[in-house]
């Protein structure tokens, strides 16, 4: 646990340093700075779960709401052994910035439970999900804080939580959570939205740099929901996916890989056993060479798409990165020190607060559909997603190019500028002109 706490503290420190640097550049009120240095609310709970063997276990959980000047908090729930309060707080800050960058009427939210969900049976996982929802029910709702899926949570888990929230409220409130099954008011297009949005940002960058998909090689770290759909859609667009990894290993094929049969092999055992999580690996694919996960990060490719965990590119391995561009599909995969080292080498990074925002954009569309009672066709959802992602990505890229600054700095300037304006408009700042 000491290492996990250090990891979370490092994330939080990096976030605060960047926040202060950008606020200095914006020259905004000190009152705005003070409001943004801490979350509005950080709730810790104990989630009581009766295990299948009759024993009782209590898992620590958290829900954090960052600045909500733009609207109710919005953000996912992750189940992972390393989750702690600082990690959830940092993730909620990133969500606040991300929602602002995409022009969404939301503040930042995030939740998590410190658990290895793959060690639980399906029934234990359902009890955990419902228990966590009961523990945070008093601080969420469609006008206060709207949870969604994140690492190791999915539509099935959101369905359990939505049902539990309806039972607590004695009402049907589909807009209280997003990322739900379609049968419970989920939006078409939500499952692939994060990967699709990341590809749209990459497409825009490629277009602005006169690069064709068929001339662009990509290595994909991670093969969860977001990274898989990114790889699948990128392959369809003509990009050459030359390497893929998951938590158990990595594979490489210079001529290119088709993500769909790899996914099929990886999930076959999951379907047969009726499991919630996949136990197989991409390494079981026979048509490619198995390599070490660190080797994938050092491949000579045009794009390194990071879709796994935080802090994957750091001071100890950044010099081995040979990719021409990094695309952050995961949250915080590049540390601040590594980011600075890449900038000195003129290696651009398309940041998480822009590149992986497709999921929250379509969650916003789900929220709108739930509140109006009118549901959209998938083509309409995808079109709206493409229009918003392209519009806001263009703003970020134009600002970065005009001012000759990294894309991350440009994105934070745009997001924090919008949050600061909302704080000032609410009259919550005193020493302001």
C-alpha distances out from residue 27 to 336, 413, 414, Å:
22, 11, 13
pTM of the model: 0.91
Q: How far is residue 231's CA from residue 405's CA, in Å, rounded to a whole number?
A: 28
Q: How far is residue 347's CA from residue 318's CA, in Å, rounded to a whole number?
A: 11
For 285, the 3-state DSSP assignment is coil
Tokens of 229: 């759909």
Angle at 355 between CA 71 and CA 18, to 5 degrees: 70
Query: Does 74 qualify as catalytic in the annotation?
Result: no
Q: Which of 110, 180, 263, 266 is catalytic?
A: 110
Residue 155, Cα to own-chain centre: how many angstroms? 15
> What is the three-state SS of 184-203?
HCCCCCCCCHHHHHHHHHHH
Domains of the chain with CATH codes: 2-173 (3.40.50.10860), 193-350 (3.40.50.720)
Q: How far is residue 181's CA from residue 164's CA, in Å, rounded to a whole number?
A: 14
Q: How far is residue 298's CA from residue 342's CA, in Å, rounded to a whole number?
A: 13
> Nearest 5°: phi and psi at 113?
-130, 135
Q: How far is residue 152's CA from residue 129's CA, in Å, rounded to a whole number?
A: 11
Q: How far is residue 133's CA from residue 217's CA, in Å, rounded to a whole number?
A: 42
Within 222-363, strands assigned E span 240-246, 249-252, 289-291, 303-306, 325-328, 349-350
Digits of tens for pLDDT over the chain (433 positions)?
334 444 566 777 888 888 889 988 988 888 898 899 999 999 999 999 999 999 999 999 999 999 999 999 999 999 999 999 999 999 999 999 999 999 999 999 999 999 999 999 999 999 999 999 999 999 999 999 999 999 899 999 999 999 999 999 999 999 999 999 999 999 999 999 999 999 999 999 999 999 999 999 999 999 988 999 999 999 999 999 999 998 788 899 999 999 998 888 777 655 434 455 545 555 455 566 888 889 999 999 999 999 988 889 999 999 999 999 999 999 999 999 999 999 999 999 999 999 999 999 999 999 999 999 999 999 999 999 999 999 999 999 999 999 999 999 999 999 999 999 999 898 856 555 4
Judge contact between 140 and 161, C-beta under 8 A.
no
């Amino acid at each position: 646990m000491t290492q996990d706490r250090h990891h979370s503290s490092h994330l939080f420190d990096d976030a605060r340093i960047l926040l202060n640097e950008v606020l200095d550049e914006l020259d905004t009120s000190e009152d705005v700075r003070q409001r943004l240095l801490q979350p509005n609310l950080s709730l810790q709970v104990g989630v009581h779960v009766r295990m299948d063997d009759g024993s009782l276990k209590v898992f620590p959980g958290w829900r954090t709401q960052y600045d909500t000047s733009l609207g109710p908090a919005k953000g996912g729930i992750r189940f992972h052994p390393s989750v702690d309060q600082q990690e959830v707080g940092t993730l909620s800050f990133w969500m606040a910035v991300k929602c602002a960058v995409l022009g969404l009427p939301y503040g930042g939210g995030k939740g998590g439970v410190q658990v290895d969900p793959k060690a639980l049976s399906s029934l234990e996982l359902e009890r955990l999900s419902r228990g966590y929802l009961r523990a945070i029910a008093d601080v969420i709702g469609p006008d206060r804080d709207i949870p969604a899926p994140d690492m190791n949570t999915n539509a099935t888990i959101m369905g359990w939580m939505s049902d539990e929230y309806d039972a607590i409220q004695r009402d049907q409130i589909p807009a209280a959570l997003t990322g739900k099954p379609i049968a419970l008011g989920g939006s078409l297009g939500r499952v692939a939205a994060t990967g699709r949005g990341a590809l749209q940002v990459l497409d825009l960058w490629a277009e602005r740099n006169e690069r064709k998909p068929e001339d662009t090689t990509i290595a994909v770290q991670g093969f969860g929901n977001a990274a898989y759909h990114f790889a699948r859609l990128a392959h369809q667009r003509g990009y050459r996916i030359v390497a893929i990894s998951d938590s158990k290993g990595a594979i490489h094929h210079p001529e290119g890989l088709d993500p769909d049969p790899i996914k099929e092999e990886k999930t076959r055992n999951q379907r047969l056993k009726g499991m919630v999580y996949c136990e197989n690996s991409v390494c079981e694919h026979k048509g490619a060479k198995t390599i070490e996960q660190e080797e994938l990060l050092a491949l000579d490719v045009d794009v390194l798409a990071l879709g796994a965990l935080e802090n994957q590119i750091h001071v100890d391995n950044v010099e081995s990165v040979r990719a021409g561009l990094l695309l952050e599909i995961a949250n915080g995969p590049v540390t601040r020190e590594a980011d600075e080292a890449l900038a000195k080498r003129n290696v651009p990074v398309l940041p998480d607060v822009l590149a992986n925002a497709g999921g929250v954009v379509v969650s916003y569309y789900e929220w709108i559909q739930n509140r109006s009672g009118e549901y959209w066709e998938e083509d309409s959802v995808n079109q709206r997603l493409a229009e918003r992602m392209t519009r806001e990505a263009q703003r970020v890229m134009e600002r970065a190019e005009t001012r000759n600054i990294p894309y991350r700095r440009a994105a934070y300037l745009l997001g924090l500028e919008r949050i600061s304006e909302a704080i000032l408009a609410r009259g919550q700042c005193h020493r302001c002109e």
